[in-house]
Chain A
Amino acid sequence: AQSVTQLDSHVSVSEGTPVLLRCNYSSSYSPSLFWYVQHPNKGLQLLLKYTSAATLVKGINGFEAEFKKSETSFHLTKPSAHMSDAAEYFCVVSHPNQGGKLIFGQGTELSVKP
C-alpha cells in the first residue's frame, strides 16, 4: 500500500531564512510525487512534481525538492522564506493504473514571521 507521511504538522520560520518541509513516502512501485500548496480560501496549487526524470525538481516561487529513493524522502526546500509563503503544504503520491488517485500527506502549515 502507498502512503505519505509529513513529519511536521507545523513549521515556523523567519522571513529570509531557509524552509524545509519533510516528507517520506511508502510505495511498492516507482511513484510520482507532488507538492501542493493551499493558501486560505484558495484551491490546491501544484508547486512541483517528480515523475522519474531528474531527482532534483524545481518548482514555482523558488521551491525545490529532491527525490531520494534510498531514504524514501521527497523534502521540500526554499533558500529564503517570504511572507507570502505562509500556507498549508501537502506532499502527495500517485501511481499508474489507479485512475489518477492521489494520496495526500496530512499537511504542514508553514508560518513566516517578519
Chain B
Amino acid sequence: EPEVTQTPSHQVTQMGQEVILRCVPISNHLYFYWYRQILGQKVEFLVSFYNNEISEKSEIFDDQFSVERPDGSNFTLKIRSTKLEDSAMYFCASSSRGREGQETQYFGPGTRLLVL
C-alpha cells in the first residue's frame, strides 16, 4: 500500500539555523499539506499546496516558512531561521483531490524537530 514518507524522523538544530524537512507524497496525489503538533497541543494546519503554489496557509505560516516541490517526488518545508517555539512534530500529508474538503489526507509518520 502506498505511503507518505518523511525524512529525517528526528532533527536537532540550533536556534537561528535553517532546516529543511522532506516528504515524499503518494505518487499520484496532487495536493500536499504540512501540519505541526507542539508537544501537548493540537495538530495545527500550516499550509496546503497544489499546482506549484500555496492554496491556503495559516497564521503560523509566516515569512520564516516556505514550501517547495523541487522535483516530481519530493515536497519540502523550509524554516529559514528556527526559533525555540518551532520545536514540534511536523506531519506531511497528501491527497488526490482537495478543493471539496472531503478528500482523505494520507499522513506521513512525522519529523520531530527540536530547536535548542
Contact = CB atoms under 8 A, between A and B. Distances in A.
Bind each other: yes
Given A99-B56, A99-B98, A46 B104 contact: yes
Nearest to A94: B101
Contacts, number: 74
A44 interface: yes
Interface residues of A, number: 26
A100 B108 contact: no
Contact of A101 (B3, B45, B110): B45
Contact of A90 (B41, B43, B48): B43
Among B35, B93, B100, B101, the one with the most A-chain Cβ atoms within 10 Å of its Cβ is B101
Interface in B30-64: 31, 33, 35, 41-45, 48, 50, 55-56, 58
Contact of B91 (A43, A103, A105, A106): A43
Interface of B: 3-4, 31, 33, 35, 41-45, 48, 50, 55-56, 58, 91, 93, 95, 98-110
30 contacts: A36-B107, A41-B109, A43-B3, A43-B110, A44-B43, A45-B107, A46-B104, A46-B105, A90-B43, A94-B101, A95-B101, A96-B101, A97-B101, A98-B56, A98-B101, A99-B48, A99-B50, A99-B55, A99-B99, A100-B48, A100-B98, A100-B103, A100-B105, A101-B45, A101-B56, A101-B58, A104-B44, A106-B42, A107-B42, A107-B43
